[in-house]
Amino acid sequence: MPLFLLLFISCGAFSYDIDIEDGFDINETCAGCHGEFGEGGKDGEYPRIAGLSEAYIIQQLNRFQARTRSNIPMNPYTDERELSQADMQNVAAYLTQIKIKNKMPPIDENNFNAYERMLLAKQVLNIAKVDGDYKDGAMLYKKECAICHGKKGEGKKDIPALAGQYTQYLTKQIKYYNNRQRIHDEEKPDEILFLDFNAKQIHNILAYLSILDD
């Protein structure tokens, strides 16, 4: 159980006391798909949510609740009766502070603990390297994506991190954007993502992203 933390934030016209302990409890439901530490799973069928910004997590939960982002498995969990605005704030605050490592620390042979090692393994996620033209992918990413998602794919306040996210999940989301099943930019709701990119260029961007957490 994490140490209880109480913070004060404002969200629109509402103010909430942030309860990290409550966020931990709410995350037990999320963990069924997204993993105990928000690490995701099934090769990206369930995305990593650990470490994403609070603003982005809350934004997406609100979209699921309003059904402006379609995801049938999420519907019962984000129904207003099941997930209040305060709940969203609490679970987002809990998830954003989880630190996922990209590799296991060295084994301490003098103080080895198998159980602790097993728990640490759950908090490790290294995205499988995708073959591609990394130089081309880096150039395209820096030209088209970095201004919003950050130079190293680290994300910003309400814009998600791309580094450390499953390639399969990112690929699926691009298809949703292009099929207008998901809005990429609320200010440009009819925008078709990567309209001027061919499949090879998109692949190279994804390949480049796959090595950013190495």
Burial 22-53 (b: 16+ CB within 10 A, else e): bbbebbeebeebbbebbbbeeebebbbbbbbb
Alpha-carbon distance 130 to 16, whole Å? 42
Q: Is residue 145 scored above 60 in pLDDT?
A: yes
Predicted confidence at residue 194, as pLDDT, reads: 84
**Which CATH architecture is the domain 20-97 placed in?**
Orthogonal Bundle (1.10)
* CATH tag for 128-210 (out of 1.25.40.10, 3.10.20.30, 2.60.120.10, 1.10.760.10): 1.10.760.10
Predicted confidence at residue 16, as pLDDT, reads: 67
- Percent of the chain at pLDDT above 70? 93
Q: Is residue 47 scored above 60 in pLDDT?
A: yes
Q: For the ranges 60-64, 90-94, 156-160, 203-207, which has the lowest average pLDDT?
A: 156-160
Residue 191, token pair as written in the block: 């925008």
Beta bridge partners of 124: 101
Q: What is the pTM of this model?
A: 0.87
Q: How far apart are the first and last CA of the chain?
A: 30
**Would the CATH topology of 20-97 be identical to that of 128-210?**
yes
Alpha-carbon distance 141 to 209, whole Å? 9
